[in-house]
Structure 1
C-alpha cells in the first residue's frame, strides 16, 4: 500500500499554486468533503468563488485526468448539465509542488430527493442525453469496468492484508472467494461499454432548477446501468417505481437494454468489495483513521460479514424488473 498522504499540501503551497494560474485569494480556502483528493472553496480577488481540487498522486495520470476534463467539456458543450473545469493558461490541468490540480467555478445547489419521482425522471433525462453522446468520446486511458479491476484485484488486496479480526479470517476468505466466483459470469458478460460518470449517486447530483451531475473523478468505460443503479433505494416496489421514472427520462434520448438489470446486484456487490479495499489501501493516510475509525472495529466486520453473505444470496435471486413477477 502506498504511504502517500497530503501532509505536504500546505496553505502556502495552495496559494502559490493558485497564483501560478493567475488566481489570488481574497478569503476562504475552506476544505470541502473529499477523502480521495483535497478540495477547497475560496473567494478570489475578482469577487468570484472557485473550487480547487488537488489530485491524489499515484492514482490518475495526467492523461487520465485530461480525459475526464475533455469528456466534461464535451458533455457541457452539448447541453448535459455538468460542471467543466476552467481553462486557465490554455489548459484545464496544472502542476505545482508535486501536485496536479484543477479549478472550477463554485456552484451551489441542494440535494436530490431520492423519493421524488419527478426529479428522478429529470435525472434520467440528463443521463440519457449523456449516454447518447458519450460514445463519441471513448476513455481509452481510463480503462473499462471489469471483474479484474473491481473484484479480483481488491479481493486479492483484502486477503493479503486481512484488515478484519484474525479470528474471522477463515470466514472472510471463504466468503470473498465465493463472491468472486459468483461475480465472474455476470461481470464478464459481453455488453456495450460507454463513457460513464461511474459514481452516480445522489451525493454527486446538485439540484439547481434541475439536476447537475458533478464530480467525474471515477469516470470510466462500462455498462449503462452502472450510472442508474445507485439512484435506486428502498424495497423492490419502490426501486421499481424509481427505475420506471429514470427510464422515462432516459429513453427520450437512447434505448436502455433491460437485460442489463441483471447486473445491478453484481455491481452493488463489487462496489462493496471495492470500497473495503479502498479503505484498506488508504489507511496509511492519517485522514482515514480519523474519518473512518469503525473500520478497525470488530462490530464493523461482523456487519460486513452479514451484508456480504446477504449479497451472495441476492446474486442467485431473480433480477429487478419493471413489472413484478408473481
Structure 2
C-alpha cells in the first residue's frame, strides 16, 4: 500500500478509470466526487445506464482484514433485509486493488440526508437501528477496532499538542481546558458495559431517506462498542428536548432489540470523546488538500476560540445527571 500518500496524489482520473476497467466496468459519465474526505468516493454511470459509486480507501488507514470485515458486516445486514448499501461482489471479490490503491464498487442509491423533524421519524429511525443491532449482536468483529480511551482521547490529545494550527494566542486557554477534560474522561467506565458490532458513525449524514425508506451508508468507521454509540448522535438541543428525542428513539429501538438503560450515563463521555477526536482528525489530515477546501475555518482563530467554549461546556455536562427515559 502507499502508506504515505495521504493526499491521494497518484489517484487521478486516468487511474480511476483504469481501475474500474479492470472490473469490466466502463464509465460513460464524468466521475462526480461525493462528500467523503477520509477516502475518495465518486459516482458515475455506465453505457447501460447503471449508476455506481466507487470508493478508494485511504492508504494505510485500515488493514485489509479490517476492510473485509466492514464488507462482511454490511453483507450480513443486507442478507437480513436491513437497508444498507453493501459493496458489490465482482469476480468473486468485494475488495480490489489497482496501482497500490484498494477500492470497492457500490450500487448508487438515491436519497437525501435524513432530517428528523418530528418524533414519529425518530421512532422509525430507532426501529431501524434496533433491527441493525439485532443482527450486529449475532456476530463479532475480530480485526475492527473498539471504542477506547487511548485511541479516541490520549492519541488525539497528543496530536493536538504537536499541531501547528492552534494559534499561539489561544494555546494556553485551549490546553487549560482540554487536558482536564481528557483526564476526566479517563474514568469513563466503558469496560462495565456489554459491547457489540456498531455502525460506529451513525449520524444523520450517514442515513439516506427516500420516501419512507431509511438506508444506512458509510460503514467505514464500524467498530465494537456499547449500543448507545449508534444512538446518541441523533440527540440535539436543550436537555428537555433531548429527553423527548431519546424516548422516541428507544421506544422504536426496543421493538427489535433490548436496550440497557444504564448506558445512558455514557452519552456525555462519548460526546467528549468525539469532540476531541474530531479536532485531532482534522489536524492529522490537514495536509490533504481536500480537507483544506472542505474545512477552511479549521485554521481560523475564531474556530479555536469557539472550541475553548465547547470544551468548557462539555466538561460542565459531565457533572450533570445522565439523561433518563420518560417512560
Q: Which TM-score applies when normalising by structure 2?
A: 0.95
For the 8 Å contact 2:4–2:59, the answer to whether it is kept is no
Partner of 1:35: 37
Question: Does 2:179 match 1:177?
Answer: yes
Following superposition, the deviation at residue 247 of structure 1 comes to 1.0
The aligned residue for residue 94 of structure 1 is: 96
What do residues 41-65 of structure 1 show as CA deviations (whole Å, max 9, x unaligned)?
1111221100001111111111111
Is 1:138 equivalent to 2:137 in the alignment? Answer: no
Work out whether 1:151 is the aligned partner of 2:169.
no
- Secondary structure of the residue aligned to 1:221 is strand
Residue equivalent to 2:279: 276
Task: Find the partner of 1:59 among 58, 61, 72.
Answer: 61
**Contact 2:145/2:223 (CA < 8 Å) preserved in 1?**
yes
- TM superposition shift of 1:162: 5.0
CA apart distance, 1:223: 0.5
Corresponding residue pairs, total: 324
Alignment partner of 2:221 out of 218, 221, 225: 218
Q: 1:119 Cα shift?
A: 1.7
Query: Are the structure 2 counterparts of residues 187 and 97 from structure 1 closer, same or farther at C-alpha, using a change threshold of 3 Å?
Result: farther
Residues in 2 aligned to 1:98 and 1:200: alpha-carbon distance in whole angstroms: 30
Listed as ranges, the gaps of 5+ residues in structure 1 are none
Contact in 1 for aligned 2:23/2:90 (Cα 8 Å): yes
Structure 2 gaps of 5+ residues are: none
Q: How far, CA to CA, are the matches of 1:292 and 1:247 in structure 2?
A: 34
Contact 2:247 2:326 in 1 (8 A): no
- Contact kept in structure 2, 1:93 and 1:100, CA below 8 Å: yes
Residue number in structure 1 paired with 2:49: 47
Residue by residue over 1:123-170, the C-alpha shift from the partner in whole angstroms, topping out at 9 and shown as x without a partner, is 111111111121233111112101111111111111122531113222
Aligned pairs for 1:1-326 (under 5 A) are 4-208=6-210, 209-323=212-326
- How far apart, CA to CA, are the structure 2 residues paired with 1:2 and 1:185? 35
Partners in 2 of 1:188 and 1:212 — Cα distance?
29
| Structure 1: distance between partners of 2:236 and 2:90 | 40
Q: What do the CA deviations read for 1:189-212 (whole angstroms, capped 9, x no partner)?
A: 411110100111111111132211
> What secondary structure sits across from 2:188 in the alignment?
helix
Q: Is the 8 A contact 2:123 2:248 kept in 1?
A: yes
State the alpha-carbon separation in 2 of the partners of residues 9 and 91 from structure 1: 22
1:201-244 residue CA offsets vs partner (Å, 9 max, x unmatched): 11111113221111101100001000000011122222122111
CA RMSD of aligned residues (A): 1.6
Q: CA deviation at 1:2?
A: 5.6
Cα deviation digits, residues 51-106 of structure 1 (max 9, x gap): 00111111111111110000000011012111111000101100001111000000
Tell me the distance in 1 between the aligned counterparts of 2:160 and 2:83: 37
Kept after mapping to 2: 8 A contact 1:35/1:287: yes
User: Equivalents in 1 of 2:250, 2:297: separation in Å?
Assistant: 37
Alpha-carbon distance in 2 for matches of 1:320, 1:274:
23
3-state SS of paired residue (2:162): helix
* SS of residue paired to 1:27: coil
Asked if 1 retains the 8 angstrom alpha-carbon contact of 2:195 and 2:226, the reply is yes
| Structure 2 counterpart SS, 1:185 | coil
| Whole-Å separation in 2 of the counterparts to 1:162 and 1:25 | 41
